[in-house]
Structure 1
């Protein structure tokens, strides 16, 4: 078996993906399939950490336009990410894979607080890390959280799971002439205004020199393929 290209990664998943075909909430078949994909990645010998959004349950930015303050709305969104982490932890452990939820927010009855020491200890134990609560502060997305945690943990890449197989010049579902990029620099991604990640995440990735690989999570086995260097995606680096 070929050695994986990356040995420690942070995988960024949207909360909306966990809803599956439903308009909101958690779709159990979807989360079970995702758990299997993560276990296959861990079985390659890769240390896996996961950052999940909360958009399938709550979107703080949208609520803040209806009278709730942005800090309060973002805090509610961060709590939604914890629900997703707990659901995924249960799915992983049902399949026999040890997992650990670490939170950026202090909630001792629910999970341990994220620290680098706690994260490294869990990774050394062979656990899949589920990093909830965003950054613990408002105004930052879970995209930025993923890049931040990658820098803190010395991850070799952030794997940004989307519904398309890379970064395009326009939405390929709306524009049949959209150009797909195999590779971009962080600066090119920022200048192009590509919406696959927010500008703060791209800027932090550039500052910390963390590559971002954008790929489609809808394709079975796509996480393992990216880790093995055979998957289809866009590399944002340099």
Structure 2
């Protein structure tokens, strides 16, 4: 991939993500995939923490709390990393490494949020493959939705308004694997392309990075919340019984 119009910092960041053919490097791809592989015990711990604060809260209220917490975490983290570009000892080039770490943090926070919402809708996230596909599709937004709907129609299962519930439980394992394969092929490159601008934005000097980093994460977080709502629909008022049992263990 020729990069004639990129400055040295941009070229360094791009070279760390893609090979000469423009494909995501294997190590980067695995790092991104690992970032969204949040285990169910961590998801349950996240929900227990929320319920400990508000024992009488409904699932809808907990969902709203999860949303506020998620946005706060990714916005503050993005702004904090962007602010490091102001410090002379760090500088723009070095802060690109911190910014890449923030990108991984964004993916981890997103996976934890999306799977927590799934559990509130009665979708258990114990199957790593289904959970990973769910998070990837949410991060891809409309493109993820279109891919899933296309596979569901092609399998004869028909489209579903709330595809997250279908993918998380009722769809057969072979169809779930087909969806996962289709999503995975496109996810990493799309995510790196989307986060690439934010990664460089966080590293802008003179204090601009703090604004771009925080604002950029907030915008992407809002898109995640919208996609999650499309996947599962309105939050229920009643917490699923199986989830309550698991939270009590």
TM-score scaled by structure 2?
0.27
Structure with the higher fraction of residues in strand conformation: 1
More helix by share: 2
Higher RCO (C-alpha under 8 Å, 6+ residues apart):
2
Question: TM-score, normalization: structure 1?
Answer: 0.28
